[in-house]
Structure 1
Amino acid sequence: VSISSPLFAADCGHSDEPKLHTIDEVKLLLKLVGPVMITTLLEFLPGFVAVVLAGNLDSPYAQHYIDAATFSIMLINLTSYSVGLGLASALDTLCSQAYGAKRQEKIGLYFQTGVLVLGTILVPVFVINLFTEDLLVWLGQDEEVAHLAGYFSWYMLPGIPFLYAYELARKALQAQNIMTPLVIIAAIGNSVNIAAGYGLAYHTSIGFNGIAIGCSLGNIVLPLLLVPYFMWRPHHLKQWWCYPWDFKAAKDYIGVFLRFGVPGMVMLVMEMWAFEVVTILSGLLPHHVVSVAAHSVLVNVNLLIYTTFDGLSVAASIRVGNCLGAGMAKTARLTCILVLTMTVFLSLMFTAVLYGFSGQIPHLFLEKGDGADLASMVMAIWSPLTIVDGLNAVTQGVLRGAGKQKAAAITNGVACYIFGVPLGAFLAFQNGLGVLGLWLGVGFGCAVNFGTMIVLILCFWSWEKLASDAKTLTDL
């Protein structure tokens, strides 16, 4: 079965490319999507687990603990995880294209460059989070909550360098289509997090801060578990780690790394900040307790669904990068068409589930009441916008694989802060739509971002030029 689309057909083929088979390409994508989706879900769990453990502590300060853990994790996400993981997204382009070009030795150099860059940004990351308490007090939060959050962040910090190292290794392995061990390692890391957090918080005098220590231990074991794995499967290391540590050679690629990493970081930071702004706005609405409760349900449901779209996004990034690195422009184009088609079908399923069970899903998070009723109403109306949310996420993966992070960062910023958030605020406060207005703004921002990116692909991309650019990049 072959595929051809005039919409994507601009200058897109090498005569020596193998004949395209849609079914084979779908199988390759599905092989990538499943493990990545599970890994993404497992990476989402530590913050969720921390809040659950904090909320169930037998203490009169349980609500303070929930608030402190929530604020600490929010700041860690915004100032540490988003920065490091965003910069590491440079490897989505560099490593996947190098693997496609059969230049695996470049993957090792790119990894070492990532170590240099992320190692450097650890300094401001640590400084900012060491002053979590002062920052929260400055933002007007309760002093006791800020004090608890400050200590919680301190105990979270030791795990960040290990998480950065693992993230770099994970992307290097994913670019080579090595997926299953990463799922197992993420599962073990979560188990350590839960066991250590529960044991230290509930069965020692450490108490609340034991949850943060558990998070750090869960992050610390992630890169350490790669050691026995590489001892068991040494060829999975030797095929890309061809030379010893050589930071002198690696620093020559810092400029290239930052060219892709900085826009990737900006893109991730802007998305996370946009959601935090929407969360803050929900707390300013009339009947803010009900509004925040409903918004929290919608955020958690949306994040769970997003793990699936993120799996497709990463698969698209890997496969598009591999194909462009190998000079297979037609196959890269086919991958783009297929992942977007798969996203439409998948998002239609999610739309049906959200709409059909909008009355039941909120009760998994909230008792019966105004908060659950409001969440049910918004979920039913929002459900069709899951389609553009998914297409937005997956198209960003295509752009990462093609090395177009800068364009994605610009469209993201415009969509979020010129269209999405302002429209949401207008609908929520001026039109009296409340939480529904905020989420309609989010959906409109996703639609604008996807629409802009797809116009760029349709009207301005030459797949042959992208393949040529990938060859130039890997030959540097």
Structure 2
Amino acid sequence: MDNNIHDKLLDSERKEVGDLKVRVYDESKKIWRVAFPGMIARVCAYGTIIVSQSFIGHLNSVDLAAYSLVQTISYRLASGILLGMSSATETLCGQAYGAGQYEMMGIYLQRSMIVDFLTLTILLPLYIFGAPLFKLLGEEEQISDAAGYISWWFIPVTYSFVFTLTMQMYLQAQQKNGIVAWLSLSQLVVHVLFSWLFVNVLPWGVHGAMAAVNISSWLLVFAEFAYICGGGCRETWKGFTWAAFKDLLPVIRLSISSGIMVCLELWYNSILVLLAGYMRNAEVSISAFSICININGWEFMVCLGFLGAACVRIANELGRGDANATRFSIKVLTTTSIVLGVIFTALCLGFGNNIGYLFTEDLQVVKAVSNLSFLLAISVLLKSIYPVLSGVAVGAGLQTRVAVINFSCYYLIGIPIGAILGYVAKLEVQGIWIGMNIGIFTETIALLYMAWKTDWDEQVRIAQDRLQRFQVKSSDDPDNNNGHA
């Protein structure tokens, strides 16, 4: 009798383990179906900026430092706001797709474009007055003047983000990631070819590098727009509609909280680069720190693929009303991101001494990058985890909570510690980076705790209420055509 009971228990355990393996496999397939194309899209988009930096870096050190300042401060600030505000598209479209409200997704896309376009227009002075701004911040005059010129070139690039970001998140929410990945990969290839042609063959120098990034960015906009309007999204795109101008306030609120959440993360790095500009030998400090930040940022783009996957999976399950599936998805996402982080950390440790040669031939800059390689590896590991947790928050519409966590961990902990270690303890750039890693570590712990303590059954109810409220407000047209053009 005891043997029979024991055998039954073993069979039950084996069945549970087998069921768990099947569930993990199924969830992993759903995650990678979104994450992998998202990774390619993010890496390629960021790659266009890095490729331009690499071409400019082989021209001269002043232009490299100037480009680094614009890219890590003005561009990162503006694009960070757009990226954050566009994540509201992920929340709304993801939950609408999960709930089967397909007709609303095209309206959410157009509303997000309107909000992002107006926001960027307000931010234009960052680029128009680039040179005076950097001089006001205490940067060297020669670098500031060069940065002011490059800032003008970045204006059309950033406007292209208004459309590419929102369209990519709209497509991602309905599992159409393949087209996003292919178009983004094509953009990167075109960008490399134009950069080589304009900088090395013609040669047009800085003008050529910036012209190449502008051309490739807008080609991507037109390609994505052609796919959506050309029949690629028949269920969710019904044409332009005046309904996009209605009920903008709820979208603005969610976009602002999303924008603050992401910007507090991206501005964190920008402030640290700015601090590096006050060090001795500012050209070397800015260039080396910016190169490491950009390598870190490129790996972060891979993790943003998982952020997008987390957002889509959580939003879809909340839209469907399944809290248990939401919890399980969070566990699988977090575990997978940690494994990826360990792999990337090992790569950074293995190739840290030679990374700088990808961007410059200046031996001082290369040596400075090598000295930061260990801290870069630690940062890569930490940055592989928290984007997934941020994606969970975006999928649930909890951006405001994450914004509070980001502000506390980065600006009350990370930056003060980095400034003290850099200036008071005389550790300079290494001290700034140590402070940055401490801020990221505390943020990761806080986000893990938030995900653990969140009542996901309550979040299901909130998601259902949000969708119902937006659907009713936007369907006041009797024949439900919402004024489509």
Matches within 5 A, 1:427-442: 427-442=421-436
Q: Is 174-183 or 435-444 further displaced after alignment?
A: 435-444
Cα distance 1:474–1:273, how it changes in 2: closer, same or farther (>3 A)?
A: same
Which moved further from structure 2: 386-395 or 94-103?
A: 386-395
Distance (whole Å) between structure 1 residues aligned to residue 220 and residue 386 of structure 2: 30
Match of 1:241 among 237, 241, 262: 237
Partners of 1:308 and 1:174 lie apart in 2 by 15
- Are 1:410 and 2:404 an aligned pair? yes
SS of corresponding position for 2:150: helix
Residues 11-410 of structure 1 aligned to structure 2 (within 5 Å): 21-57=23-59, 62-143=60-141, 145-201=143-199, 207-230=205-228, 234=231, 236-242=232-238, 244-247=239-242, 249-285=243-279, 291-292=285-286, 294-359=288-353, 361=355, 372=366, 375-376=369-370, 378-380=372-374, 383-384=377-378, 386-410=380-404
Post-superposition offset of 1:70: 2.9
Which amino acid in 2 is paired with 1:462? D
What residue is the counterpart of 1:421 in the other structure?
415
Measured after TM superposition, the shift of residue 399 of structure 1 is 0.6
Matched, 1:464 2:464: no
Tell me, in whole angstroms, the C-alpha distance in 2 between the residues paired with 1:427 and 1:142: 23
**Aligned residues of 1:411 and 1:452 also touching (Cα < 8 A):** yes
Seen in structure 2, the aligned counterparts of structure 1 residues 181 and 376 have a Cα distance that, compared at 3 Å, is: same
Cα offset, 1:228, TM superposition: 4.3
Give me the whole-angstrom Cα distance separating, in 2, the residues matched to 1:206 and 1:285: 32
Q: Tell me the CA shift for residue 423 of structure 1.
A: 1.2
Contact 1:420 1:441 in 2 (8 A): yes
Separation in 2 of the partners of 1:287 and 1:212? Answer: 26
Q: Call closer, same or farther: CA 1:49–1:380 in 2, change over 3 Å.
A: closer
Matched, 1:443 2:437: yes
40-49 or 158-167, which deviates more: 158-167
Structure 1 range deviating more: 113-122 or 191-200: 191-200
Going from structure 1 to structure 2, the CA distance change for 1:325 and 1:140 (only over 3 Å counts) comes to same
Give 2:477's aligned residue.
none
How far is the alpha carbon of 1:165 from its aligned partner? 1.4
Specify the code of the residue in structure 2 equivalent to 1:245: F
Compute the TM-score of the two structures, normalised by the length of structure 2: 0.84
Aligned amino acid, residue 183 of structure 2: I
Identity %: 24
CA distance in 1, matches of 2:374, 2:70: 32
Cα deviation digits, residues 412-469 of structure 1 (max 9, x gap): 011100011111222233334333322221121112112222222222x111111111
5+ long unaligned stretches in structure 2: 1-13, 470-485
Aligned residue-pair number:
453
CA contact (8 A) 1:263 1:406 kept: yes
Contact 1:157 1:216 in 2 (8 A): no
Q: Which letter maps to 1:408?
A: V
SS at match of 1:473: helix
Q: Which amino acid aligns with 1:397?
A: G
Q: What amino acid sits opposite 1:352 in the alignment?
A: A
8 Å Cα contact 1:79-1:125 kept in structure 2: no
Q: Residue 3 of structure 2 aligns with which residue? A: none
**1:287-332 Cα shifts (integer Å, max 9, x gaps):** 6666555534432332232222222111111111111111121111
Question: Whole-Å Cα distance in 1 between the matches of residues 75 and 374 of structure 2?
Answer: 29
Q: TM-score, normalised by structure 1?
A: 0.85
Farther off after superposition, 262-271 or 109-118: 262-271
Instruction: Name the stretch that deviates more: 428-437 or 264-273.
Output: 428-437
Distance in 2 of aligned mates of 1:275 and 1:402:
26
* 2:378–2:437 Cα contact (<8 Å) kept: no
Distance in 2 of aligned mates of 1:221 and 1:256: 32
How much does 1:367 deviate?
6.5
Deviations 1:330-386 (A, max 9, x none): 111111011111122222223333344445555655769676556445433563554
Native 8 Å contact 1:389 1:446 kept in 2: yes
RMSD: 2.9
More moved, 257-266 vs 368-377: 368-377
Aligned to 1:475: 468
Q: Which digits, 9 at most, give the CA deviation of each residue in 1:114-171, with x for residues without a partner? A: 1221222232233432222332343344555444433433333234333311211111
Letter of the 1:447 counterpart = F
Change (3 A) 1:93 1:418: same
3-state DSSP class of the match of 1:350? helix
CA distance in 2, matches of 1:432, 1:336: 41
Rounded to whole Å, the distance in 2 between the matches of 1:436 and 1:146 is: 24
Unaligned runs of 5+ in 1: 5-18
Of residues 360-369 and 182-191 in structure 1, the stretch that sits farther from structure 2 once superposed is 360-369
Aligned CA distance change for structure 1 residues 252 and 230 (closer, same or farther; 3 Å) = closer
Q: Is the 8 A contact 1:2 1:22 kept in 2?
A: no
Is contact 1:389–1:443 with CA below 8 Å preserved after alignment? no
- Whether the aligned pair in 2 keeps the contact of 1:295 and 1:435 (CA below 8 Å) is yes
Secondary structure (helix, strand or coil) at the match of 1:353 reads helix
Question: SS of the counterpart of 1:475?
Answer: helix
SS at the partner of 1:240?
coil
Look up the SS of the partner of 2:236 in the other structure: coil
The secondary structure found in structure 2 opposite 1:213 is: helix
2:54 and 2:359 in contact (8 A); partners too: no
SS of 1:208's partner is helix
Residue pair 1:3, 1:334 contacting (<8 A) in 2 also: no
- Would you say the 8 A contact 1:95–1:110 is kept in 2? yes
